[in-house]
Every structure is written in structure tokens, then in C-alpha cells.
Amino acid sequence: MGAGGRRVAADGGGGRTRTLSRNRVPHAVESAVDIKTRAPAEKSVRVRRVKATDIPQVVALDQQITGIGKAEYWRDLYARYGKRRLAERFFFVAEPSGKRAGKNILGFVIGEIRAWEFGSAPCGWVFAMSVDPDTRLHGVGKSLLDAISFEFRKAGVSKMRTMVARDNRLHLLFFRSQEMAAGPYLQLEKELD
Amino acid sequence: MKLQVSTRLAIFALLHLAGRPDEQLSVSDIGDKYGISSHHLAKVMHALGRAGLVRAVRGARGGYQFSGNASRTTLLDVVQLFEDWASPHAISGIDGRTNEAWALSKVVAEIDEIAQATLGSITIATMLKLIDRRRHEQKRST
């Protein structure tokens, strides 16, 4: 964070970060589709549905970033978001397009369409997103967010939400750069004695 | 939340210059657009120059040019050049000796943290995107 009188710099890149359509959403997304062909994305990045064989790379990427290995958590997310109710749940991974495709995962995003929580009309929630630190600032995060936005819109919702820790500048900068702004809700909490 | 005049001028000037990266604009060019006195703006530009955010170009067609990194310079970076945001207490001016003052300062600190997180998450590039979107919307509605 810059301070007074000094040259200042922020960072940008991938981010991490979590509602149902008014009607039932159509079962339009197959289990493995090249989202790139339908949603705007960076040319060098291909975004597709996650596969079981991707999960070890997802676990490794998350561990690299958070420092915490949570293999069971990610396997559970794969079971819930990678295999079931796929018209409203989206677990996508980004990989290099072309020759190296399928070799390594550059990042991932998970979200779903949820309705009426907190009195909110149906909207898309992005609740997990991560980009390989070595490939940040190359449009991977944007491609992932574009792909999931495209699916949210296709499923009939017109709003996308996420939640970011106030002190997580990297993720805040990323989502802001994607034209996301503060919404109408305030998150509240308390310590339970 | 109220920003000082200098802070607002600095942000306007930076957005104006960053949106025209190939041009050199004089203090009066920028001042005329926003109805600001050249004298006041000159001081602001000087502070921005010291921070490395603008560069003075000499010559017949001289003026100021944006020299920062639009994708990496946040509104908070600019605000901190002109506002005293050292600590929540410094901002609120609240003395925390009484419980009432402590409770009020806790609320003010919360507001301050949110303001800082917001300003720290918006870059000059993001602001230019917002301005561009507004411009397109205005064009479409006319």
C-alpha cells in the first residue's frame, strides 16, 4: 500500500473469493464444454468444466496460495459442484489453450446460482477463485470470471456477487478491475462467547 | 466521508491526464475543465510530481503528463498524499478515555476501514473504465 509522498504501486491478478434463478434454470451446460467457444475469453486460455483428474492440481494450487492443504474439502466441492446440478453450479478450470492444453491448471473458479438468501432475488455467487501466481496478469482470472458470468447470464440471472476480505487487496483489486462494486448488503458478525 | 479539495483536484487531474496518455496538458488546460484556479492546481500537480504520478514536460507545447502506472495506482495512494489518514483516531479526533468515546471511536474506525479498503481497491485504470462506460451510456441515451 502506498503512503504519502512516495511513488505507489498496487497489484492485480487472480482472486479468491460465493444464490437460483426465478424459474428452473435450463440444463444447458454439459459436463465438459469449451467455454471459450461461447464466452469472451483470453485467446491463450481455455476454460472448461472441472474433471476428477484436475482435483489434485486444484488442491496443489490452493495449498500453494493459502499454505493449507485441504484435499478433502476440494474433493467434496468437486462432488457437489463438479458433478451435480450442473445447470446452476459451475466449477471451471483454466488451462493453456493449444499444444499444452490439459497439461496444467492455471486457475479455477467455483460459483452457483442461489435465490432468496438474505431476501435476495436469484443471483450468481462466486465463492472460490484462484489463479496460479506465476500466470497472473495474463488474463486467466478475467477468462474464468467471464466464463462463469456467461453461464450465470445464460441461466437467467443478471447479477453476480462475491465476498472478499477487506484486507485482501489483491482480490479486491481484481474484482474491482472487472467492474464489480460494493453491493447493497453489509456483512456482520460477532464473537460468540 | 468528505475529501479535501486538493484530494479531489488531484484525482480529477490524474484521471484527466491518464485518459490522455499521449498529450501534455498545462495546469490551465486542466483547471479550465474543472473550474479550478491554476494557483491551487499548480500546488497539487507539484505534489503529484513528487510522488512520481505526473511528469512536467518542458517546451513550447509543454505541460504535464501522467507518469504513474494506471493499473497499479489506487485512489487510496492519491488520497494519502493529501489527507492525514495515519490512524482512525487521527481521522476522527476522538479521545478514547471514556467508554462512550471508545464505543464511538470503534464505529468510526469501522467506517474508516471500509473507506480505506474501498479506495485501496480502485485503481486509476478501473476509474477510467467506469468513466468510459458512463460515456458510452450517455452516447446511447442521446
Q: How far apart are the C-alpha atoms of B60 and B67, rounded to whole Å?
A: 20
Q: Which of A4, A167, A169 is opposite residue B81, by nearest beta carbon?
A: A4
Across residues A94-121, what is the average pLDDT?
86
Q: What is the ipTM of this complex?
A: 0.78
Which residue is it, cell 473458479? A109
* CB-CB neighbors (< 8 A) of B121 in chain A: 169, 172-173, 175-176
Per-residue model confidence (pLDDT) at position A101: 57
Residue type, B13: A
Please name the helix (run of DSSP H) or strand (run of DSSP E) that holds residue B67, with its range, or none: none
Q: Are A25 and A147 in contact (CB under 8 A)?
A: no
CA distance B68 to A180: 23
| pTM given for the model | 0.78
Q: Are A166 and B69 an interchain contact pair (Cβ–Cβ within 8 Å)?
A: no
- Chain B environment of A182 (Cβ under 8 Å): 118
Closest CA–CA distance from residue A30 to any residue of chain B (Å): 34
Examine the pLDDT at A17 and tell me if it is beyond 60: no
- Please, which pLDDT band fits residue A175 given cuts at 50, 70 and 90? very high
Q: Identify the CA nearest to A29 among candidates A119, A147, A133, A144.
A: A147
Task: Give yes or no for A6 touching B (CB within 8 A).
Answer: yes
pLDDT along chain B (142 residues), means of 10: 88 95 88 86 94 90 91 95 69 67 87 91 96 92 84
Tell me the shortest Cα–Cα distance from A175 to chain B, in angstroms.
9
Task: Classify domain B5-141 by CATH number.
Answer: 1.10.10.10
Do B123 and A1 make contact, defined as CB atoms within 8 angstroms?
no
Which residue in A has a C-alpha nearest to residue B46's C-alpha?
A5
Each residue's pLDDT tens digit, A32-73: 334 444 444 456 889 999 999 999 999 999 999 999 999 999
What's at B90, amino acid-wise? A
**CB within 8 Å: A177 and B76:** no
Give the pLDDT band of residue A99 (cuts 50, 70, 90).
low
The proportion of chain A whose per-residue pLDDT surpasses 90, expressed as a percent, equals 59
**CA distance, residue A188 to nearest chain B CA (Å):** 11
Contacts of A167 in chain B (CB under 8 A): 117
Share the mean pLDDT of chain A: 79
The answer to whether A104 contacts chain B (CB < 8 Å) is: no
- Nearest residue to B115 via CA among B81, B80, B82: B80
pLDDT reading at A87 higher than 80: yes
| Choice between A163 and A26, residue whose per-residue pLDDT is larger | A163
Cell numbers 478433502 correspond to A72
Distance from CA of A192 to the nearest CA of B (A): 19
- Bridge-based pairing of strands A107-114 and A45-49 is unpaired
From B86's Cα to the closest Cα of chain A, the distance in A is 10
Pairing of strands A107-114, A89-96: antiparallel
Confidence of residue A150 (pLDDT cuts 50, 70, 90): very high
Q: Does the pLDDT at position A16 exceed 70?
A: no
pLDDT reading at A6 higher than 80? no
What grid cell was written down for A146? 467471464
DSSP state of A79: I
* Contact between chains at B121 and A176 (C-beta distance less than 8 A): yes
Residue B36 DSSP code = -
pLDDT score recorded for residue B53: 97
Domain ranges in chain B are: 5-141
Cell of B12: 480529477
Higher pLDDT, A159 or B87: A159
